[in-house]
């Protein structure tokens, strides 16, 4: 039987000079004994969670050139223009303009990251099952794997599918989007109730029962996109379970201690508030993950004046997106435009995204994730919200509208609006009201592309992005993946 050796080396050193080092292996466990223990199970799970944290070219969010950039810069909420000074690669502008190709580096990075994550999750599931680990720990590994497969079908449609690592890449079969969707739903419905209900502490940043149901809600919310069959009632039911977790909206009121003036922005700082945050990515710069998004946006001198470090002068918020916000909306405080500290003046408009590119100070900047220490010129320690309760409320509003229960939807959307300093809607919400409110509340959090697709907005022209045909609803399977597995079929249109 395959064994794993765990040894503790006991080293005795004299306070003066050198003595013989005594080394003794005092214990030995089989793999099943190790992973069957609570601490051993957490080791297996930690390896999977480490895939979620962002670094360059990997991870869900926090860094650049992976899933977050692919899914936000292909929407209408942000873009990094090529600068006419020669700064910034063209990849980001090409995503915004829907010009991506199967050879795109960001697409390739996202695909590779997700399959590495699935491999790691498969390994954890196997280790924990073979060891008869606690049911909640096995369930956690399965829910993580479902999370990665959900992200895969959302971006790529029909994908290579496997749950056993004893297979070579060239032999992994391609499963339809609907098939993988059904697997994800089955894994979640069979396992979310086995997850612990603990919030915070050692479960901060981990899938507990409430985070599991938040994921299931998201899967049901987009079921019609994936399979052609809507699951609005099922989404509502899953959201209702999340509501049993005791979540509330975090206060949004004025707070002089906040760099942006409101308690609301504590939702995007360090150690995210547990009243609203359901699942987050823990980040401490240069130790575990990082968060670059405010630093990446502002110009150099402005970054020095605001944060103490030079900004990267990258991400901008397109003006049409910014202009939709009400001036009384506290969420508009996250944007920087006009004269700023450091002698920088940001313009509302951008003249070009790619050829010749934008001027150095063109474009509105975003500091939703206003840096918290420890920080430096390569990132900040802001944690990243994957799911929070405001999203759950807006999902409930949407599902009720789609089920012709607009009156039931109104209290959900009004809660979010009123926290932002706005009044309740004058009438029952329409789908357009819900779509707009999701854009105001959840921008820069990784939801926008998915929302645009679900509300039939993604293919339409906006700003520098032309109208595109329907094949752009999916990203292409990377060329490198097709070369590695010749049995795969490319998505139509590519």
Torsion angle of the four alpha carbons 110, 113, 117, 120, in this order, in degrees rounded to the nearest 10:
160
Residue 380, pLDDT above cutoff 70: yes
188: tokens are 């979640």
pLDDT above 70 as % of the chain: 94
* Helix or strand holding residue 278 (H, E): strand 277-281
**Comparison of pLDDT for 25 and 208, the residue scoring more:** 208
Residue carrying structure tokens 């470090």: 309
Ranges 10-14, 157-161, 483-487: which has the least confidence: 10-14
DSSP assigned state of 267: G
pLDDT tens column, 157-185: 999 999 999 999 999 999 999 999 999 99
Residue 9, pLDDT above cutoff 60: no
223 C-beta neighbours (distance < 10 Å), count: 19
C-alpha–C-alpha distance, residues 474 and 479, integer Å: 15
From first CA to last CA, the distance across the chain in angstroms is 47
Q: Residue 338 pairs with which residues in a beta bridge?
A: 346
Residue 190, pLDDT above cutoff 70: yes
Burial class (CB in 10 A: 0-12, 13-18, 19+), 227: middle
User: For the chain, which residues make up each domain, given as ranges?
Assistant: 55-250+386-484, 293-366
Confidence of residue 20 (pLDDT cuts 50, 70, 90): very low
| 376-399: average pLDDT | 97
| 312-322: average pLDDT | 98
Structure confidence at residue 4 (pLDDT): 29
100: tokens are 């991506």
For 206-229, give the DSSP string.
Answer: S--HHHHHHHHHHHHHTHHHHHS-
Residue carrying structure tokens 């899914």: 71
Structure confidence at residue 24 (pLDDT): 42
218: tokens are 């998201």
Structure confidence at residue 31 (pLDDT): 81
Structure confidence at residue 193 (pLDDT): 98
* pTM reported for the whole predicted model: 0.93
Residue carrying structure tokens 């001198």: 301
Angle between helices 431-442 and 389-402 (to 10 degrees): 170
| 13-41: average pLDDT | 60
C-alpha–C-alpha distance, residues 59 and 52, integer Å: 5
Quote the radius of gyration of the chain (alpha carbons, Å). Answer: 23
Ranges 28-37, 72-81, 138-147: which has the least confidence: 28-37
Structure confidence at residue 30 (pLDDT): 78
Q: Is residue 222 a contact partner of residue 450, using CB atoms and an 8 Å limit?
A: yes
Q: What is the mean pLDDT of the chain?
A: 93
* Helix or strand holding residue 385 (H, E): strand 384-388
* Helix or strand holding residue 39 (H, E): helix 38-52
Residue 10, pLDDT above cutoff 70: no
Structure confidence at residue 173 (pLDDT): 98
| 97-102: average pLDDT | 98
55-250+386-484 maps to CATH 1.25.40.390: yes
Confidence of residue 1 (pLDDT cuts 50, 70, 90): very low
Structure confidence at residue 3 (pLDDT): 30
Coil, strand or helix: which one is 159?
Answer: strand
For 290-334, give the DSSP string.
Answer: -B-HHHHHS-HHHHHHHHSS------BB-HHHHHTS-TT-GGGGG
Confidence of residue 32 (pLDDT cuts 50, 70, 90): confident
For residue 5, the Cα-to-chain-centroid distance in whole angstroms is 36
381: tokens are 């320690």
DSSP assigned state of 345: E
424 C-beta neighbours (distance < 10 Å), count: 12
Sequence-separated (6 or more) residues with CB below 8 Å from residue 480: 108
Structure confidence at residue 27 (pLDDT): 53
For residue 425, the Cα-to-chain-centroid distance in whole angstroms is 29
C-alpha–C-alpha distance, residues 62 and 54, integer Å: 5
Confidence of residue 5 (pLDDT cuts 50, 70, 90): very low
Of residues 162, 229, 216, the one with CA closest to residue 207: 216
C-alpha–C-alpha distance, residues 8 and 29, integer Å: 12
Confidence of residue 268 (pLDDT cuts 50, 70, 90): very high
Structure confidence at residue 29 (pLDDT): 65
Q: Is residue 290 a contact partner of residue 378, using CB atoms and an 8 Å limit?
A: yes
Coil, strand or helix: which one is 21?
Answer: coil
pLDDT tens column, 446-477: 999 999 999 999 999 999 999 999 999 999 99
Cis peptide before 374 (omega within 30 of 0): yes
Confidence of residue 26 (pLDDT cuts 50, 70, 90): very low
Structure confidence at residue 355 (pLDDT): 94
| 200-208: average pLDDT | 95
Burial class (CB in 10 A: 0-12, 13-18, 19+), 256: exposed
């Amino acid at each position: 039987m395959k064994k794993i050796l765990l040894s503790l080396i006991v080293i005795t050193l004299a306070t003066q000079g050198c003595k013989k080092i005594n080394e003794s292996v005092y214990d030995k466990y089989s793999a099943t004994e190790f992973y069957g223990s609570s601490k051993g199970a957490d080791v297996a799970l930690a390896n999977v969670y480490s895939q979620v944290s962002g670094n360059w070219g990997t991870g869900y969010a926090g860094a650049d050139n992976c899933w977050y950039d692919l899914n936000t810069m292909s929407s209408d909420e942000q873009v990094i223009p090529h600068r006419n000074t020669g700064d910034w690669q063209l990849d980001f502008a090409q995503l915004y303009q829907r010009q991506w190709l199967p050879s795109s580096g960001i697409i390739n990075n996202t695909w590779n990251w997700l399959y590495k994550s699935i491999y790691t999750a498969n390994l954890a599931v196997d280790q924990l099952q073979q060891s008869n680990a606690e049911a909640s720990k096995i369930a956690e590994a399965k829910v993580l794997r479902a999370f990665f497969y959900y992200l895969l079908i959302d971006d790529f449609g029909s994908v290579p599918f496997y749950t056993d690592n004893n297979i070579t890449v060239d032999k992994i079969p391609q499963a339809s989007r609907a098939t993988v969707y059904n697997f994800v739903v089955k894994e979640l419905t069979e396992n979310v109730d086995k997850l612990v209900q603990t919030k915070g502490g050692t479960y901060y940043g981990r899938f507990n029962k409430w985070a599991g149901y938040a994921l299931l809600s998201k899967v049901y919310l987009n079921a019609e996109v994936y399979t052609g069959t809507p699951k609005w009632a099922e989404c509502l039911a899953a959201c209702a379970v999340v509501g049993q977790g005791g979540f509330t909206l975090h206060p949004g009121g004025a707070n002089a201690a906040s760099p942006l003036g409101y308690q609301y922005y504590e939702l995007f700082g360090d150690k995210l508030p547990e009243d609203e945050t359901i699942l987050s990515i823990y980040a401490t710069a240069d130790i575990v993950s990082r968060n670059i998004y405010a630093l990446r946006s502002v110009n150099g001198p402005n970054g020095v004046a605001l944060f103490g470090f030079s900004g990267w002068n990258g991400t901008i918020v397109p003006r049409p997106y910014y202009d939709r916000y009400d001036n009384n909306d506290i969420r508009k405080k996250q944007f920087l435009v006009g004269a700023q500290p450091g002698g920088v003046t940001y313009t509302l408009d951008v003249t070009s995204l790619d050829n010749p590119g934008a001027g150095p100070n063109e474009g509105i900047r975003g500091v939703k994730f206003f840096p918290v220490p420890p920080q430096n010129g390569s990132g900040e320690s802001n944690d990243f919200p994957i799911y929070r309760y405001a999203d759950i409320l807006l999902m409930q509003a949407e599902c009720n509208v789609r089920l012709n229960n607009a009156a039931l939807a109104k209290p959900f959307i009004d809660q979010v609006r009123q926290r932002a300093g706005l009044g309740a809607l004058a009438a029952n919400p329409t789908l357009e009201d819900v779509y707009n409110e999701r854009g105001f509340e959840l921008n820069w959090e990784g939801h926008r592309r998915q929302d645009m697709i679900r509300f039939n907005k993604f293919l339409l022209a906006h700003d520098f992005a032309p109208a595109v045909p329907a094949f752009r609803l999916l990203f292409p399977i990377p060329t490198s993946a097709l070369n590695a597995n010749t049995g795969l079929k490319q998505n139509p249109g590519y």
